[in-house]
Structure 1
Amino acid sequence: MDLKLILKYLTDLSENNNREWYHAHKAEHKAANAQFEELIQTLILQIGEFDGSILHNQPKDLTFKLVRDTRFSHDKSPYNPAFRAHISSKGKLPVPVGYYLMIKPGGQSFLGGGLFADMFKNGTAMIRDYITDHGKEFEEIIHAPEFQKYFKVQGTSLKKVPAGYDKEHPQAEYLKFKSWYLEYPVEDEALADADAFVTEAVKLFHMMKPFNDYLNKALDGFQMPARR
């Protein structure tokens, strides 16, 4: 697979972020998207060796559109020049959490895991409650030496521990969070050798799995809000 082709297309789109250019270069988009789907298929198969719950997925069902929703944004650029995918047991839904990949030129690419969305109040409460009752397990995961070498838990956070939770709890800092996720940055140069990149990505996703498993246990029974 040619990941440099993906970077070139996205770079060109970033420099020509308008509908006229986009529609005039559909062939380039199709070619780049085919390379991205090949990458996702390869990741599915290799991640599936340690997480079989994701093997049923088809790449085209895991990717996100380039079109941006500009209704409430000052930036009216119609496209997000990034190829993104979320691989989990239920596809690209944010819950259950899984393995996230974004390719975006200019050193903005990254590998991710955990819960990025912070708009699900029920989900946030479920994770806070689980951390309250299983704090030692959480600490063991995030303080494992190999984990700390590559990751730091990130997320939108409140200034204070929310009402109803112990301010003196050993994991009080994480009870402030509304989302809990991991990001590992990927430089453009790392995508030049596709095979080497896949090997590294799979290794990092494997290290994320205990964190993802923990959050998914916390989110067991979570129901996505119905669309109106």
Structure 2
Amino acid sequence: MVDTKKILNFIKELKENNNKEWYHAHKEERLEAKSEFEKLIQELIIEIGKFDQSILCNDPKDLTFKMVRDTRFSKDKSPYNPVFRAHISSKGKLPIPVGYYIYIGCDNTAFLGGGLFADMFKEATNMVRAYIDKNGKELTEITNDPDFKNNFKMCGVKLKNVPAGYDKEHPYGEFLKHKSWFIEYPISDHDFIDSKAFIKNAAEKFKLMKPFNDYLNKALVDFEMPKR
């Protein structure tokens, strides 16, 4: 059984004490919370694997993100992100191919996500738009499905107008305006406390996201991450 209380408690404490001294003084609690989060991700991998075997190759340790923030270009100089995050896809935590994103914050800020969050890859945006141009009907059917509409709303950075190169009256113009395409399902602190119920619910929501993810991954099949 995953101790989700340890995860939430650490996040709440870090949020209230977001400084290096406290962070290093509470290393033991941090490592315990991190271990519980990795156990949670392992449980999710098993459940997601029942409908998407492509993610079963992952090690939870390779899917999580650091709490340390890059504050160089931010007005907020707090050194840590008081959240636990992971992205589960066929190629690990890379943003592409898209997969299943989990963001655990406190004070009811947690959510489950799917789709393309990153809008900094111009090539990826162009590839998805080109795919929508030819296959917009399929995306319309996915997003109009009652189960999808009852749980998700498509988000992402969006232009005011249909991008250059496409008809201003394009039938899928609203989709084409996006630079990123993602969906979120909110999770309350209360939802997260019962780990067994949370894992079951999360797997169900991720299963509903799969057609949306599959659509984007077909558009991005030839995308290559830029070399650093």
Taking structure 2 as the reference length, the TM-score comes to 0.99
Unaligned residue ranges in structure 1 (runs of 5+): none
In 2, Cα distance between equivalents of 1:127 and 1:87: 20
SS at match of 2:96: coil
> Does 1:187 find its partner at 2:188?
yes
Q: What is the deviation of 1:171?
A: 1.1
Q: What is the deviation of 1:167?
A: 1.4
Counterpart in the other structure of 1:169: 170
SS at match of 1:134: helix
Amino acid at match of 1:4: K
In 2, Cα distance between equivalents of 1:155 and 1:213: 17
Identity %: 63
In 1, Cα distance between equivalents of 2:86 and 2:170: 35
Counterpart in the other structure of 1:51: 52
Amino acid at match of 2:207: H
Q: Deviations over 1:28-80 (max 9, x none)?
A: 00100010000000000110010000000000000000000000000000000
SS at match of 1:220: coil
> Does 1:101 find its partner at 2:94?
no
How do 1:36-47 residues align onto structure 2 when only pairs under 5 Å count? Answer: 36-47=37-48
Amino acid at match of 2:49: G
Counterpart in the other structure of 2:85: 84
In 1, Cα distance between equivalents of 2:225 and 2:102: 22
In 1, Cα distance between equivalents of 2:51 and 2:169: 37
SS at match of 2:182: strand
Q: What is the deviation of 1:4?
A: 1.1
SS at match of 2:154: coil
> Does 1:200 find its partner at 2:201?
yes
Q: Deviations over 1:7-36 (max 9, x none)?
A: 000000000000000000000001000100
Amino acid at match of 2:84: F
In 1, Cα distance between equivalents of 2:200 and 2:87: 18
* Count of residues paired in the alignment: 227
In 2, Cα distance between equivalents of 1:173 and 1:63: 33
Counterpart in the other structure of 2:111: 110
Counterpart in the other structure of 2:64: 63
Amino acid at match of 1:142: T
In 2, Cα distance between equivalents of 1:9 and 1:152: 30
In 2, Cα distance between equivalents of 1:19 and 1:77: 9
In 1, Cα distance between equivalents of 2:192 and 2:145: 28
Q: What is the deviation of 1:192?
A: 1.2
Unaligned residue ranges in structure 2 (runs of 5+): none
Counterpart in the other structure of 1:211: 212
Q: What is the deviation of 1:211?
A: 0.1
In 1, Cα distance between equivalents of 2:170 and 2:87: 32
Counterpart in the other structure of 1:225: 226
Amino acid at match of 1:40: I
Give the superposed CA RMSD.
Answer: 0.5
